Amino acid sequence: MQIGIFTETYKPTVNGVAVSVDTFKTELEKLGHKVYIFCPANQNAAKEEGVFRVPSFQWLGSTKNYPLALPGLTHISLADVPELDIIHCQHLSVMGRMGRHIAKEFKIPLVYTYHTLLTEYTHYIPLFGHFMKPLVIKISRNFANSADVVITPSPSIKRILQGWGVKKPIEVVPTGIYLENYSRSNPGPMKKHFNILDNQQVLLYVGRIAREKNIDFLLESFEHLQKNYPDVHLLLVGGGPEEKYWQDYVKKHQLTKYITFTGFLPKQEVNQIFGQVELFVFPSTTDTQGIVVVEALAAGTPVIAANYLGPADIITSGKDGFLTPLNKFDFTDRIMELLKEEKTWQYFSKNAQKKAKQYSAQRCAQRMESIYYGLTTHHQISKSIT
């Protein structure tokens, strides 16, 4: 098949959608398909065959290396691209609408992945954020209903879209990971590098340091935990708009010996850290999948997560991790239970690695391939009838 993927983010930009696109591209091409990427121009991008970039701009206040396609100035000539069998849009903004337009014009089956629960990001719109939610729901519903098939990374998001009035078929296909990149390893060098005491057990968070990730709950819970269980350390990997605020909070509350902000780290280093800590803690209530949760499981690291959306669809509470309400006492009690009970931790760790096998990159790509084949077959039958 000739597959066209239209996305607002692609490498070298690093975020969940860019990782998803790159992973599916790699695995689908291993299966014998040709994947073309249509995305915004990026001055830091290396030239790559099959990647078409359109004029872009840098949104004021956004992080570097995060260009967006310019509305009204985006044009792609398909003269150099073989006939596409499938168009797969990853966003409903400029690139997504371009992909939808081409699909309609050339009568190509259209797939749309709803990666992000957009209603939980309206707080970034000054003054009018709260009032934007109904409009965001309407735009999301209309774009999804213009596709032939909608993909969601978890069953929870499928149910939300159905509740919003999406009538088109919805398939659940998570983004897969490369299981071979994760394993248990000696934490000594990692502890030394981040000045963590040898006797401290380490909790890990990986993700944006931002409001939608519920960092306030995590740090307030850790503060309560540390008072009752002092030999513990929290490692926060990632950056974001609230990083400086929470660094100041940690200093003010005299927790610098127990909490470390690493900022952004190379992916290979983060992959190793997943297997060098005791527990992965994830307080987010907005993640549609939570790839980092699967990565922790693949490393044999049990997960304590808020019982919401994507992580709630991944974790089997009491077997490979714990799901808790947004209550710091419940959250910290579960953490202490696994930190204190070695046999229980070992049981959870083994189950975590077994669970992660369901999310291999190869398995998820095969699932996507079968959806593509079903669409193209139906499309060919419809064309022959007409």
Q: What is the pTM of this model?
A: 0.92
CA distances from 309 to 91, 218, 290, 328 (A): 20, 17, 9, 19
Per-residue pLDDT of the chain (386 residues; tens, 9 = 90+): 999 999 999 999 888 899 999 999 999 999 999 999 999 998 888 889 999 998 888 765 555 567 888 876 656 666 666 789 999 999 999 999 999 999 999 999 999 999 998 887 765 565 555 678 899 999 999 999 999 999 999 999 999 999 999 999 999 999 999 999 999 999 999 999 999 999 999 999 999 999 899 999 999 999 999 999 999 999 999 999 999 999 999 999 999 999 999 999 999 999 999 999 999 999 999 999 999 999 999 999 999 999 999 999 999 999 999 999 999 999 999 999 999 999 999 999 999 999 999 999 999 999 999 999 999 987 767 665 65
CA distance linking residue 309 with residue 307, whole number of Å: 7
If 0-12 CB within 10 Å is exposed, 13-18 middle and 19+ buried, where does residue 189 land? exposed
Helix ranges, the chain (H): 16-30, 94-106, 129-145, 155-164, 188-193, 215-228, 243-252, 267-274, 291-298, 309-314, 328-340, 342-356, 361-385
The dihedral built from the CA positions of residue 39, 284, 235 and 338, taken in this order, carries a sign that is negative
Q: Which amino acid is at 258?
A: Y
- Taking residue 267's Cβ as centre, other Cβ atoms within 10 Å add up to 12
Return the ∠ at Cα 322 (arms to 186 and 310), rounded to 5°: 100
CA distance linking residue 36 with residue 383, whole number of Å: 24
Domains of the chain: 2-176+360-385 (3.40.50.2000), 179-359 (3.40.50.2000)
Q: Bridge partners of 237?
A: 206, 263
Whether the CB-CB separation of 56 and 40 falls below 8 Å is answered with yes
**How big, in percent rounded to 5, are the helix, strand and coil portions of the chain?**
45, 20, 35
Assign 288 to helix, strand or coil. coil
- Taking residue 183's Cβ as centre, other Cβ atoms within 10 Å add up to 15
